[in-house]
Amino acid sequence: VALRRGRPPGRRALRARRVLRGVRARRRHAVDPAAARWWEIFGNLKWAIICIMQARTFLDGAVRSVELASLGRRVVEMELELLELTEE
């Protein structure tokens, strides 16, 4: 089931396309879209894990920071990205 099937590409997709176009123009050879997608999935997963760890620091009572607490509620943003990126 699609979050965006049949709809125009989202902000993330547009940003990724712009970056790929820029890289192609400068390096005069094609970027492997599958590799780019892999790294994008990796980057989102990594940022999700960092946010979970930061929220954990708050939850364990190590650092009572509202900023660290708020990062726990940003994990869903990467879940959205990952669902869109792994859609076939």
In degrees, rounded to 5, the angle at the alpha carbon of residue 82 between the alpha carbons of residues 76 and 84 is 105
Minimum Å gap between C-beta 80 and other proteins is 5
| Residue 70 within binding range of other proteins, rule CB under 8 A | yes
Binding residues for other proteins, rule CB under 8 A, total 19
Site for other proteins in 4-23 (CB under 8 A): 4, 7, 10
Q: Note whether 50 binds other proteins by CB under 8 A.
A: no
- Position 56 contacts other proteins (CB under 8 A): no
- Decide: 10 and 48 in contact? Cβ < 8 Å: no
Q: How far is the CB of 65 from other proteins (least distance, A)?
A: 8
For other proteins, give the closer residue by CB, 8 or 61.
8
